Structure 1
Amino acid sequence: MSAEINLYAAWIGMLLGGILGAVQGVFFHNEEWMGGYGSWKRRMTRLGHISFFGIAFINIAFVATVNTTGIEGQARLPSVLFIIGAIGMPLICYLSAFIKNFRHLFFIPALSVIAGIASLLWIVYYS
């Protein structure tokens, strides 16, 4: 797997974050929208929207690291883990907003990103 997929994932994530942020932004003026600013639904949809951007930046940093250090052949594991995070975090945020029991799955994308960062650091250090 090439790091190129992480670059695509990053830009797709930013596009989706922008689109969903615009859609949500249409309603933000209504203080009671989705139960009010502090409600679970509204917090989770905000987190989902922002997670598209946050994990996109991690994927871009990953691509830059791979290209700078020349470790592409060794970086399959962090690549896959960052893709899991890019898909899983916003998905679980939005699902949790409407079906609260999905919150128990947050460990999957969170650990994927953490393990991706740790494995990337390991590979860079020992290469």
Structure 2
Amino acid sequence: MPVTNLIGGWVGMLAGVLSGAVIGLLFHRDDWMGGYGSYRRRLTRLGHISFFGLGFLNLLFAATAIQLNLSGNWLATASWGLMAGAITMPVCCFLSAWRKPLRHLFPIPVLSVTAGILSILMGWWRR
């Protein structure tokens, strides 16, 4: 399963670069998406950077899962939680930028990543 996180981490890096390139085409316009400090623009930037942040987290997990001797349910829950967070966090950010009420979806990626991190720590602690 860490191989899935390794690939997912690198896909996240690519998605971060590509989303940054798209956003970068219009960032020079002061009024784009309501201006630099607007809700829509902040959430769009957060979505872009979350590709990198959660991509790095998945790469870190892939590199350390064996070192921490994770196995069984701890390994599976950590792997799936971190991958789910890496997918759902940017999606939630971009959807929230599009329609503000969709911000209520944020518990999904937050709980996913939390479950992943807790599984890493509990699996390491219980070995």
Normalized against structure 1, the TM-score is what? 0.94
Name the structure 1 match of 2:12.
13
Structure 2 distance, partners of 1:38, 1:71, is: 42
CA contact (8 A) 1:92 1:105 kept: yes
Name the structure 1 match of 2:55.
56
Unmatched runs of 5 consecutive residues or more in structure 2 = none
Structure 2 distance, partners of 1:71, 1:96, is: 35
Deviations along 1:85-123, one digit per CA (max 9) or x if unpaired, are 010000010011011111001011011111210111010
- Larger CA deviation: 67-76 vs 16-25: 67-76
Name the structure 1 match of 2:75.
75
CA contact (8 A) 1:35 1:42 kept: yes
Moved over 4 A (4+): none
Q: Aligned pair count?
A: 126
Letter in 2 for 1:121: L
CA contact (8 A) 1:78 1:119 kept: yes
Name the structure 1 match of 2:42.
43
Matches within 5 A, 1:98-117: 98-117=98-117
Letter in 2 for 1:57: F
1:71 Cα deviation (Å)?
A: 2.1
Name the structure 1 match of 2:27.
28
CA contact (8 A) 1:3 1:72 kept: no
Unmatched runs of 5 consecutive residues or more in structure 1 = none
Identity of aligned residues (%): 50
- Larger CA deviation: 112-121 vs 41-50: 112-121
The CA RMSD over aligned residues, in Å, is 1.1
